[in-house]
Amino acid sequence: MFQPVKIAPSILSANFLDLGADIALIERAGAAFVHIDVMDGHFVPNLTMGVPLLKQLKPATSLVCDVHLMIDNPLVELPWFIDAGADLLNVHVEALSEADLVRAIAQIHEAGLMAAAALKPKTPPSALAPVIADLDMALVMSVEPGFSGQSYMAGSETKVAEVAAMARAAGNEAMLIQVDGGIGTATAPLVAAAGADVLVCGNAVFAAPDPAEALAAVRDAADAARLAVLDACA
């Protein structure tokens, strides 16, 4: 059955001096998630936003608060983001031992939130194996994490297809696949056809002359690709 893709605009590319207006804009434009890029200056070479911002954002939006934790010590900081109102917490597998990855996903679920695990571009899908049966979402990074506005790494769609196959094999058909980095009208169809369900868009939305129109264009391009795959299988 056809399922439209969900768009998750990354507020790393928004106007921090008028963030409320940008949130209202993406809500009206039909975004499903608001993607919050938390960077600690250690796991990635950049420092961005964190708990104080999430605390203010959560009561001000109806969007799913999707928190992408690019930090060294997620097990220590997960409770902070749970208390601050995250709906979905996403930890990087590279920041955790196998046992701690399992602990982190369990801790997120115990708090009643959606749990996701993220892969940097060079990390193989097999790193998700200890938790794939339990994940609500897996994130395939299509740029090295750290900055918005980078170019999509060619071939990332192959990894999306591999992660989709792994989830099916693990009996987790409901698991969403998110792709993050360099997603726009040219790249959204590639990842959507490979099985991506949630597309993070930073610059493609917020740096566009008409962000609402840009968001719709990415969604339409992705949905057309998903429909074409369904038609080809019918």
Residues with catalytic annotation?
A: 37, 180
Q: In this structure, how many other beta carbons lie within 10 angstroms of the beta carbon of residue 26?
A: 26
Q: Residue number with the shortest CB distance to ligand DX5?
A: 202
Q: Give the integer Cα–Cα distance in Å for 60 and 42.
A: 30
Q: Which residues contact 42 (CB under 8 A, 6 or more apart)?
A: 71, 72
In the complex, the smallest distance separating the C-beta of residue 119 from Zn ion, rounded to whole angstroms, is: 12
- Residue 199 C-beta: closest distance to ligand DX5, Å: 9
Q: How far apart are CA 146 and CA 121, in angstroms?
A: 12
**Site residues (CB under 5 A) for Zn ion, limited to 154-183:** 180
Q: Report how far residue 35's alpha carbon sits from residue 87's, in angstroms, rounded to the nearest whole number.
A: 11
77 binds Zn ion per the rule CB under 5 A? no
Nearer to ligand DX5 among residue 102 and residue 220 (C-beta):
220
CB of 92 to ligand DX5, least distance (A): 10
- Note the maximum CA span of the chain: 49
CB of 37 or CB of 157, closer to ligand DX5: 37
Q: Find which of Zn ion, ligand DX5, none residue 61 binds, CB within 5 to 8 Å per kind.
A: none
CB closer to Zn ion, 42 vs 168: 42
Task: Determine if 37 is a binding residue for Zn ion (CB under 5 A).
Answer: yes
Give me the residues that bind ligand DX5 (CB under 6 A), please: 10, 12-13, 35, 37, 68, 143, 145-146, 148-150, 180-183, 200-204
Nearer to Zn ion, 49 or 133 (CB): 49
> Is residue 22 at the binding interface for Zn ion, with CB under 5 A as the rule?
no
Residue 13 C-beta: closest distance to Zn ion, Å: 10
Q: Which is nearer to ligand DX5, 145 or 211 (CB)?
A: 145
196 binds, among Zn ion, ligand DX5, none (CB under 5 to 8 A by kind): none
CB of 35 to Zn ion, least distance (A): 6
- What residues line the site for Zn ion (CB under 5 A)? 37, 68, 180
